[in-house]
Amino acid sequence: MNYWTKVILTAAAIITATSVVAEGAKSLDHAEKATENRKAVFTLLGANMGPLGAMAKGKIPLDAKVVEKNALRINQLSLMIADYTQTDTSAFKVKTAALDKIWQEPKAFSKRINALSKASANLQMTARAADESAIKQAIANVGKSCGGCHDDFKAD
């Protein structure tokens, strides 16, 4: 299965997923489904961030239209993070890189989500200006917001 097929299937999983309640998982099956949905959101974030990072590093040509589109997607996905991390799966042994701190420190986690939302919205607007230097800086700011969350809430 190629990379884009996985991304499309992940997106389909998000779209068809049932809602999870804002409390601890009720069973291993519930924890596994909540984890699968959470991972799907982050997989799509990575799929949209990857080309931006490559553009910022000069590995591929900077394309303001792609930057704007991916920034919009990242922003939309950032607004889903809180929904798809509501279910506390920490009581179950599910394969995940998510640290229990997500549910132990919800205010700090929420601040990280908000930082990504703001940085991605700024990137979207910056891309419209077509100033390559400003776009690369705005991409870096999105990357920093992602990295900050990884540092605090994702296992190495």
Read off the amino acid at residue 72.
L
Cα separation of 123 and 75, whole Å? Answer: 9
Confidence (pLDDT) at 40? 96
Compute the mean pLDDT over every residue in the chain, rounded to the nearest whole number. 88
Domain ranges of the chain: 3-153
Confidence (pLDDT) at 24? 81
Confidence (pLDDT) at 17? 45
CATH number of 3-153: 1.20.120.10
In this prediction, residues 103-129 reach a mean pLDDT of 96
In this prediction, residues 48-72 reach a mean pLDDT of 97
Nearest CA to 74 out of 111, 132, 128, 115 is that of 115
Confidence (pLDDT) at 20? 38
Task: Please write the tens of the pLDDT for every residue from 94-105.
Answer: 899 999 999 999
15: pLDDT strictly greater than 70: no
Name the band, by pLDDT with cuts 50, 70 and 90, for residue 2: low
> What is the pTM (predicted TM-score) of this model?
0.82
- Tokens representing residue 61 in the block: 């040509």
In this prediction, residues 101-114 reach a mean pLDDT of 95
